[in-house]
Amino acid sequence: MTTTTAPTPAELRLLRAAAAGDPAATSALYRRHWPALLRVCERVTGCSDDAADAAQDAMLAVFARLPRLELETLNLGGYLRMAGHRAALERLRTRRRSVPLDGIAEPVDAAPACAEQVERQELARAVRTAMRELPRRQREALFQSAYEGRPLLEIGDGLGLSRNATAQLVHRARRGLAVRLAQDAQPVLRA
């Protein structure tokens, strides 16, 4: 859920310079967007080394495409996070295919781990369902705050809100999400 806001004039200048091959502009954009990109990749891979590799792959691929993109309407942060998500998934697929057979340990009782994994998957499914029921602006603000780790000021800029209004929006979204999750957790009573 990224917003479709145009880049600020300062970011647009950096984008144009980076697209023209300016290493200082590329470095500035890299430093600005690396933390959020890395967080996305870490959530997908669950491994800091794989996340760093995936984030680097995404960053290089996006910067290579800059000369061919519509820079005036480019949401670079959102574009990088999407590319990072895809690169992290690809890294997971590659990692799964390349496990050597001699490195596989003897099977252990996986029942507790499986049960925990099923519970996490059910909770994730319930959260996704509850998130879909939130109003669009609350959903966007909560996603950017909780999942992307973006500061309130940055979220507010994208939504056209002050920091305080953004904080209230995120609070209402969290409260609404908690209410929906609590409703889903209540057992159905049969007469």
Instruction: Please state, in angstroms and rounded to a whole number, the distance separating the CA atoms of residues 167 and 150.
Output: 12
Give pLDDT, residue 1. Answer: 43
35 has a pLDDT exceeding 90: yes
191: confidence class by pLDDT, cuts 50, 70, 90: very low
Bigger pLDDT: 94 vs 145:
145
- The per-residue pLDDT for 132 is 86
Q: What distance in Å separates the CA atoms of residue 25 and residue 13, rounded to the nearest whole number?
A: 8
pLDDT at 103 over 80: no
Identity (one letter) of the amino acid at 87? A
pLDDT digits (tens, 9 = 90+) for 159-172: 888 989 999 998 99
Containing H/E element for 122? helix 111-133
The arithmetic mean of pLDDT across residues 106-135, rounded, is 76
- Can you give the pLDDT at residue 113? 63
| Distance of alpha carbon 149 from alpha carbon 155, whole angstroms | 10
Per-residue pLDDT at 14 exceeds 60: yes
Q: Tell me: pLDDT of 98 over 60.
A: no
- If pLDDT is split at 50, 70 and 90, which confidence band does 3 have? very low
The domains found in the chain, sorted by start residue, are 1-97 (1.10.1740.10), 130-191 (1.10.10.10)
Mean pLDDT computed over every residue of the chain:
83
**pLDDT tier for residue 40 given thresholds of 50, 70 and 90:** very high
pLDDT, average across residues 85-109: 70
Q: In this structure, what token pair is assigned to residue 79?
A: 């574009």
Tokens of 154: 């940055």
